[in-house]
Amino acid sequence: MAATTVQRPRSRSPLRKHSVPYLHLAPALLAVVLTTVYPLVSALITSFRHWRLNETREAGEFVGLAQYQRVFTDDTFFNSALVTLNFTVISVVLSVGLGLCIALILNNRTRLSALTKALLILPFAVAPALKGFSWRFMLNPDTGVYDKMLDSVLPFADNINWLGDPFWALMVLALTEVWGWAPLIALMLLGGLNSISPEVREAARIDGANAWQQFWRVTFPLLRPLLLIVVFLKAVFSVKIFDQVVTTTGGGPGRATESLNFFAYSQGFTFLDIGYASAVSWVIVLVLGVLAALYLIAMARQEAK
């Protein structure tokens, strides 16, 4: 991160000096505190109390760490953690990989590429819940248009029930994400590719590097900071996957697509166990918080190099 200039022409006392930025920040910070810190604190307190909404309307007695113990002995929780991990890895790898391919293919000045670039933003704008419905419709094993296309191209696909098979159901879920994100990531990366001067690549080519070597030796290192951010962004959205789970698979088959967010939703909203759902939420917050911190530290190191 390049340093931004401190823009205070007249000198003043440190307190007075800092009060100005804090005043600017206050409204936004207040909104963020109100809408994220408040619920987190509230959920923390609830996580130590027994509270099932179908038993009592108000929160019940304090039960200490009992609900946290339950989280760590709950197989379905670990299942959803694993599902979320798999989903995140699959969708990040596919989105970024495909996004990179698209960016490299479109990184030229033909009219067709320009048109395609203009349209790349579209899938991201489609509501995730709707993406779920539309892919579910198109992959219906009897009548879906994608299913028919795939069946005619790939003979083995004929017997695949896309949303019925645990592996494919997760892939379809990932695909709904990839459809929205790969083009967007391509757009982000195209911005980065533009800033790589043609001379560099020309130099590499003249040096005898083939296209593959050119990519790995020149393009990739220059894109790396941008790629790190893109991976981070995609991961943030992926670990929170919820909408498409509801509209595409409902968590099935079995529990093969129950994500962490879906699991917490079931405990809180379907089973009305507010206390347990709060404990689950906090475990998720802590785990993701640690992961996010690690990643941010790694990113900062990368930049420092």
Partner 1 sequence: MTDTATKLAKHPAAIAAPVRRQRRRRGGWAIGRAFLRVLATLAILFFVLFPIFWMALTAFKPARDAFSTAVLFTPTLDNFLAIFGGASDLTGALVNSVLIAVATTIVSIPLALLAAYAFSRYRFPGHRGMLLAIVATQFIPGVAIALPFLTLFRSLGLIDTHLALVVVNLSLVVPYITWLLKGFVDGLPLEIEEAARLDGCTQVNLLWRVITPLAAPGIFVAAVFSFLLSWNEFLFPTFLARTEAETLPVALMTLVMPEGVAWGQMAAAGLLVMAPMLILALLVRKHFAEGMTMGAVK
Partner 2 sequence: MRRTSGTIGKLAAALSAVLALLIGGCASAPSEQDLLEEVATGPTDELGLLTEKPYDGTHIRLLSCCRTTAQFAALQRKTDREFTAKTGITVEWANIPYESYLQKIVAETAIGGGTYDLVVWPDAYGASAKIGLQPLNEVMRRADRSLEEFSPPFQQAARAGDPETVYGIPFRGFSYNLFYRESEYERLGIEPAKTWDEFSAQLDKLDGAGGRDAFAGQYGRNGGQNLYTWMSMLWSNGADVLDDDGQPAFTSPEGIAATEQYLALLRDGHSPAASTNWTETDSTQSFEQGHTNSVLTWAWQMDDFSDPAKVQPKVAEDIGVASLPGWPGKPTVTYGYTWLMGILNTSDNQGAAWEYLKWLTHPDTERDVALDKSEGDTATSVVVHRKNMLDPEVNAANHDLPKLQESALRNGRTVPMTIDWPQIQDVLEVAINQMAHGADIRPKLHEAAAQIRTLTQR
Q: Which of residues 153-192 bind partner 1 (CB under 8 A)?
A: 179, 183-184, 187-188, 190-192
Query: What are the backbone angles phi and psi of residue 77, rounded to the nearest 5°?
Result: -65, -50
Residue ranges binding partner 2 (CB under 8 A): 19-20, 23-24, 26-27, 30-31, 34, 38, 52-57, 70, 75, 141-142, 159, 161, 163-164, 166, 246, 250-255, 266, 269-272
Q: Both tokens of residue 237? A: 């959205």
Query: Which CB, 28 or 112, lies closer to partner 2?
Result: 28
Nearest to 216 by CA among 127, 104, 122, 134: 104
Site for partner 1 in 229-268 (CB under 8 A): 229-230, 233, 236, 239-240, 242-243, 246-247, 260-261, 264-265, 268
For tokens 């475990």, name the residue.
Answer: 283
Binding partner of residue 270 among partner 1, partner 2, none, CB under 5 to 8 Å per kind? partner 2
Nearest to 86 by CA among 161, 169, 146: 169
Query: Which CB, 116 or 161, lies closer to partner 1?
Result: 116
Angle at which helix 274-304 crosses helix 75-106, to 10 degrees, equals: 40
Nearest to 113 by CA among 186, 173, 204: 186
Site for partner 1 in 26-65 (CB under 8 A): 27-29, 31-32, 34-36, 38-40, 42-43, 46
Smallest distance, partner 2 to C-beta of residue 264, A: 13
Does residue 71 belong to the site contacting partner 1 (CB under 8 A)?
no
